[in-house]
Amino acid sequence: MKRIDDFKSIIDHYEIIFFDAFGVIKNYKGLLPGIEKTFRYLKEQGKEYYVVTNDASRSPAQLAASYHEMGLDAITADRIISSGMLTKEYLDLKVDEGIVAYLGTKSSAHYIDSEGLHTLPVSSIDESNIDKVNALAFLDDEGFDWCNDLNKTVNLLRKRAIPAIVANTDHAYPLNINDIAIAIGGVASMIETIVGKKFIRFGKPDSQMFMFAYDLIREYRSINKKQIVMVGDTLQTDILGGNKFGLDTVLVLSGNTRSADAENRINATGILPTYICDSAVIGPIELDL
């Protein structure tokens, strides 16, 4: 574990950089100040990069659009690997027809809709269509009535033997500097305990997220895991997942893990990043490169 002062020296050692989104590239206020320098340098140096994010609330195209609105054009839809993409792949491979009931916004459901399979909010499931429901997806913490629709979800899973897919493993997410919000992954865990069934979860630290990105790269170039580094602000997802997949990892202190706590948390959890760095923003001297 090495303390690195400038993120630039990390970029210089790898061919491909995987970034977590929240707490690394952006936070609740918008883009991390100066992060565009990092992406400019990546382009100049001909390095590849991907955003690997536990986010199923929107499609990669919509996620990319939100970066462009904030002024970061470097992140295009094909650079984004989201847990929503894994959910879509699972449904395409494993559920041939019928209805996917979901908890989330219409926008989150639109992305996983397909020809053979159409989505319906849990609130619209009733006697007339319950027998056609062939999967349930937990997509987003917004867009539904918690009390009514969570109770309805419990009973749907007791009546129908269908797979339940959790498209975001996070239990909570930061809302602003003081507050957090319960994420759909936390809600799904409560339902899972109550119905006593085993849900299918997509998202870091699970390897499947990293594998999806790795596979995308290999379609156009040969690559070795030694040439990739994962950058994240959360030990339990970004760093644990990156390590397990065999990647080098960088813990940045611009999000969930505060500088004062980093060492304690690393020792307490036994999750060891390869490097620790203040942020993914490259320093002032590199600016004129």
When asked if residue 193 is in the footprint of a second copy (CB under 8 A), the reply is yes
Q: How far is the CB of 139 from a second copy (least distance, A)?
A: 15
Q: Distance between CA atoms of 120 and 101, rounded to whole angstroms?
A: 5
Q: Distance between CA atoms of 121 and 143, rounded to whole angstroms?
A: 9
Stretch that binds a second copy, among 20-28, 100-108, 125-133, 190-198 (CB under 8 A): 190-198
**Based on CB atoms, which residue is closest to a second copy, 139 or 187?**
187
Q: Distance between CA atoms of 108 and 117, rounded to whole angstroms?
A: 15
When asked if residue 194 is in the footprint of a second copy (CB under 8 A), the reply is yes
Residue choice 114, 269, 284, 289 for contact with a second copy (CB under 8 A): 269
Q: Distance between CA atoms of 101 and 104, rounded to whole angstroms?
A: 10
Stretch that binds a second copy, among 3-11, 73-81, 235-243, 251-259 (CB under 8 A): 235-243
Stretch that binds a second copy, among 52-60, 86-94, 108-116, 122-130 (CB under 8 A): 86-94
Residue choice 246, 258, 259, 287 for contact with a second copy (CB under 8 A): 246
When asked if residue 132 is in the footprint of a second copy (CB under 8 A), the reply is no
Residue choice 31, 150, 223, 262 for contact with a second copy (CB under 8 A): 150
**Based on CB atoms, which residue is closest to a second copy, 47 or 171?**
171
When asked if residue 187 is in the footprint of a second copy (CB under 8 A), the reply is yes
Residue choice 25, 42, 72, 162 for contact with a second copy (CB under 8 A): 162
Query: Which tokens go with 26?
Result: 């952006």
User: What is the SS3 assignment for the chain?
Assistant: CEEECCHHHHHHHCCEEEECCECCCEECCEECCCHHHHHHHHHHCCCEEEEEECCCCCCHHHHHHHHHHHCCCCCCHHHEEEHHHHHHHHHHHHCCCEEEEEECCHHHHHHHCCCCEEEEEHHHCCCCCHHHEEEEEECCCCCCCHHHHHHHHHHHHHHCCCCEEECCCCCEEECCCCCEEECHHHHHHHHHHHHCCCCEECCCCCHHHHHHHHHHHHCCCCCCHHHEEEEECCHHHHHHHHHHHCCEEEEECCCCCCCCCHHHHHHHHCCCCCEEECCCCCCHHHHHC
Residue choice 5, 29, 44, 196 for contact with a second copy (CB under 8 A): 196
When asked if residue 280 is in the footprint of a second copy (CB under 8 A), the reply is no
Q: How far is the CB of 260 from a second copy (least distance, A)?
A: 11
Q: How far is the CB of 148 from a second copy (least distance, A)?
A: 9
Q: How far is the CB of 70 from a second copy (least distance, A)?
A: 25
Q: Please report, as ranges, the residues that interact with a second copy according to CB under 8 A.
A: 1, 89-90, 93-94, 141, 145-147, 150-151, 154-155, 157-159, 161-164, 171-172, 178-182, 186-187, 189-190, 193-200, 206-208, 211, 225-226, 236, 240, 243-247, 266-272
